[in-house]
């Protein structure tokens, strides 16, 4: 039987990125990390389209539109939800999580969940280029691997 393996070189592939403006002190760092990772994995800057939305709750509708456009090998969603500062934390996280999953499974295009759900802003910053790494960069590499894998399944 076949062994399908996604590669980590994204040259010639196209990606969409949807970024939440809420907590943009951190989401900007996550986006930078994603763009840097795409570059390091051979993706040309002009092959990455970036859309900004007000918050994580708005990520799914734009991610789904990008995925269904047929223009992208994969879509990355970037957001930050901080429990300590959010009265409706569960609503935002729940909506973003189920919405992003639906955008992916409904369109058949990988939509990568790069939404930080942290207790404190410090934890979020640690995951946006701090001592824990950059989750935006990790989401971009996941997008390259998934885009590559999907192209082999067609
Ligand atoms: O991305 C976030 N959106 C948040 N709210 C906005 C939400 O995503 C929608 O933009 C808003 O509910 C309008 O639909 C947050 N808080 O509420 O704290 C948050 O921490 N992170």
Q: What is the ipTM of this complex?
A: 0.98
pLDDT category at 20 given cuts 50, 70, 90 is: very high
- Protein residue closest via CA to atom 19 of ligand 1: 81
**pTM above 0.90?**
yes
Distances in Å between the Cα of 92 and the Cα atoms of 7, 21, 89, 100 are 33, 14, 5, 12
Question: What pLDDT is stored for residue 41 in this prediction?
Answer: 98
Residues present in the chain in total: 154
Residue 88: count other Cβ atoms within 10 Å of its Cβ. Answer: 11
Report the atom number in ligand 1 closest to the C-alpha of 85.
Answer: 18
Question: What pLDDT is stored for residue 117 in this prediction?
Answer: 97
Cα 23 to averaged position of ligand 1 atoms, centre (Å): 9
């Amino acid at each position: 039987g076949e062994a399908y393996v996604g590669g980590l070189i994204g040259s010639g592939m196209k990606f969409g990125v949807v970024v939440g403006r809420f907590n943009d002190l951190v989401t900007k760092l996550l986006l930078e990390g994603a763009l840097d990772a795409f570059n390091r994995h051979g993706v040309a800057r002009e092959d990455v389209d970036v859309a900004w939305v007000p918050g994580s709750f708005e990520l799914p509708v734009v991610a789904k539109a990008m995925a269904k456009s047929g223009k992208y090998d994969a879509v990355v969603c970037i957001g930050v939800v901080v429990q300590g500062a959010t009265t409706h934390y569960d609503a935002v996280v729940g909506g973003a999580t189920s919405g992003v999953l639906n955008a992916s499974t409904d369109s058949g295009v990988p939509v990568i969940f790069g939404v930080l759900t942290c207790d404190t802003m410090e934890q979020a910053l640690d995951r946006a280029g701090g001592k824990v790494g950059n989750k935006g960069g990790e989401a971009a590499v996941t997008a390259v691997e998934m885009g590559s894998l999907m192209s082999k399944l067609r």
